[in-house]
Amino acid sequence: MKYVWYYDTSIGRVGIAEEDGAITDLFFPQEGRPPQGEESETPTLQEAARQLREYLAGERQAFDLKLNPRGTAFQLQDWEALRTIPYGETRSYGQVAAQIGRPKACRAVGLANNRNPISIIIPCHRVIGANGSLVGYGGGLELKRKLLDLEAGKR
């Protein structure tokens, strides 16, 4: 059974979903349709919300949660690569593509990032344009800048 609960945070309302003790989604309800599931708060969701709040307060740099994102083989490979980008650092779409062994797949990386179901925890906000520009983010570019500034120590 999948469970979904909504939390108010310093970046606004977020939804978190879990199934069988693993986080499956972290999303911004205003950005689109939430995942299907029973609206009920679970200990797994409470822990994810606690860690998210610590991250947003600048008190946590890494999440310690079991994740179970659903996607294609390429998307899963991309999302795993995103999880290796250290806190406070960024990578270009081309660098991520090269890391997963598909150096010409910059656009495919961008599409996979756009489908990232576990925003922030799988840090697609750390991927920027080759020229350093902020491009594409499900929560909006303002939020992407806010998250990157947080990680850079600019509060």
Residues annotated catalytic, as ranges: 124
Q: How far is residue 29's CA from residue 31's CA, in Å, rounded to a whole number?
A: 5
Cα–Cα nearest to 85, from 48, 118, 120: 120
Residues forming beta bridges with residue 6, ordered by sequence position? 15
> Is residue 112 within 8 Å of residue 118, measured between CB atoms?
no
Structure tokens at 93: 């779409």
Contacts with 131 (C-beta within 8 Å, 6 or more apart), sequence order: none
Residue 14: HSE in the Cβ half-sphere, 13 Å Cα cutoff:
25
